[in-house]
């Protein structure tokens, strides 16, 4: 019958008998209760029952009191060398907006990139960015890291090195970047990119390493399929996306070691980005700020590689020995140029300058832009009508590329 005692429902039992069984039962219950009371603590103390048999109070729940939790929040320090470096440099990284004329009445943004404030002097400040970021702009707008928008005035560009300098109102500028020495970089050291990827995420930070401190990549300015220059760049695996161009690549000390320029954008390629080394950029930036152009020594010639000349023209027109396989052919001379003053003529084949072999146009430009200076007098060796000649040429400065 469930919870009921059988004796409680039996009509044949006498009432006196029920009273006789009640007292022993009561005593048994009391003794049983006492046994449990004294046994449970003893078992727990002997390690036979877990200590957390009962729910813990607030101070035993692993979190502690509210005061303890707040103290732990204060004690957690997330500052690292990377965050310190970013804090130091990020205020000088800006957004650069290229605004172009769409029709007679209106203008609109044609592209967005990044830039770095490298100098503040009086009421002016100066931003370095990429030439391709500001190319063909009718107007340039600079957005500071705090959101302030300023009008930018283009001071000068260098398409060959992909650099440009923009002047802005310095009264609104609080942060100026510190440039480091790119020549001291080592493979594997940290590299941090700061910029405005995709034009929508200003102040974005990506971290990687210096994959190569002195990589050379071909640059084809006129898109004719022939490289016009071998750019010296820093290779990094820090993510550099469209919109990062012109932004800062910094070291762990927060110094700018490169100006982000490009990446290899192929489906099968990941983590190959490039930056213009600070050591290469600094003299060009100075020229662009002061003169509006890069002042380089030049010959005043228009040339093509000898390798592009067919056998017939080599024999009948140039008349050079078969042993000469490398050099540059002079196709045009700029009047009153150093080459013209030295007597160099069209169809001369230049094979050496300043004691260094000139194998192609890139080698000639590299000598002029990295080994020579304006005012230098250098020996130029060339072939004319099959005869080898050497002449001294005094290099002058100019905007011409060679």
Q: Which residues are catalytically annotated?
A: 132, 162, 245
Phi, psi of 39 (to 5 degrees): -80, -40
Tell me how far the alpha carbon of residue 63 is from its chain's centroid.
Answer: 42
DSSP per-residue letters across 283-298: HHHHHHHHHSS--EEE
Q: Are 294 and 161 in contact (CB under 8 A)?
A: yes
Token duo for residue 65 = 């009191």
Token pair 């007597």 in the structure block, residue: 343
Nearest-angstrom CA–CA distance, 35 and 21: 22
Q: Please name which of 252, 260, 256 lies closest in space to residue 282, comparing C-alpha atoms.
A: 256
Contact (CB, 8 A) for 389 and 381: yes
| Residue 249, SS3 per DSSP | strand
> What is the CA 208 to chain-centroid distance, rounded?
9
Cα separation of 361 and 227, whole Å?
9
State which H helix or E strand residue 153 sits in. strand 149-158
Decide: residue 117, CB within 10 A, 0-12 exposed, 13-18 middle, 19+ buried.
buried
> CA 164 → CA 29, 59, 195, distances in Å?
97, 62, 16
């Amino acid at each position: 019958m469930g919870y009921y005692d059988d004796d409680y429902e039996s009509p044949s039992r006498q009432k006196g008998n029920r009273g006789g069984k009640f007292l022993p039962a009561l005593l048994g219950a009391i003794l049983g209760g006492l046994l449990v009371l004294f046994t449970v603590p003893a078992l727990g103390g002997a390690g036979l029952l877990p200590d957390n048999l009962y729910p813990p109070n607030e101070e035993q729940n692993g979190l502690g009191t509210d005061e303890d939790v707040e103290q732990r929040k204060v004690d957690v320090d997330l500052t690292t060398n990377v965050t310190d470096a970013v804090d130091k440099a990020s205020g000088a990284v800006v957004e650069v907006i290229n605004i172009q004329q769409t029709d007679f009445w209106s203008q609109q943004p044609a592209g967005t990139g990044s830039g770095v404030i490298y100098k503040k002097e009086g009421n002016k400040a100066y931003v370095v960015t990429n030439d391709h970021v500001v190319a063909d702009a009718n107007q340039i707008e600079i957005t500071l890291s705090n959101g302030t928008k300023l009008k930018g005035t283009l001071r000068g560009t260098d398409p060959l090195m992909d650099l440009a300098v923009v002047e802005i109102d310095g009264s609104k500028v609080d942060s100026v970047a510190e440039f480091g020495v790119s020549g001291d970089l080592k493979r594997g050291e940290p590299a941090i990119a700061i910029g405005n990827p995709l034009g929508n995420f200003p102040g974005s930070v990506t971290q990687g390493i210096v994959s190569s401190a002195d990589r050379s990549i071909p640059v084809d300015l006129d898109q004719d399929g022939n490289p016009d220059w071998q750019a010296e760049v820093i290779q990094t695996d820090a993510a550099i996306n469209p919109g990062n161009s012109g932004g800062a690549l910094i070291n762990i000390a927060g110094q700018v070691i490169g100006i982000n320029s490009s990446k290899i954008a192929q489906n099968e390629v990941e983590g190959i980005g490039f930056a213009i080394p600070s050591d290469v950029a600094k003299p060009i930036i100075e020229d662009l700020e002061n003169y509006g152009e890069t002042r380089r020594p030049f010959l005043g010639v228009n040339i093509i590689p000898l390798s592009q000349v067919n056998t017939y023209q080599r024999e009948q027109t140039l008349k050079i020995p078969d042993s000469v396989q490398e050099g540059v052919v002079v196709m045009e001379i700029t009047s009153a140029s150093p080459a013209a003053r030295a007597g160099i003529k069209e169809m001369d084949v230049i094979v050496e300058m300043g004691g260094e072999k000139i194998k192609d146009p890139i080698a000639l430009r590299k000598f002029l832009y990295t080994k020579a200076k304006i005012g230098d007098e250098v020996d130029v060796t060339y072939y004319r009508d099959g005869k080898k000649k050497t002449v001294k040429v005094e290099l002058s400065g100019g905007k011409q590329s060679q």
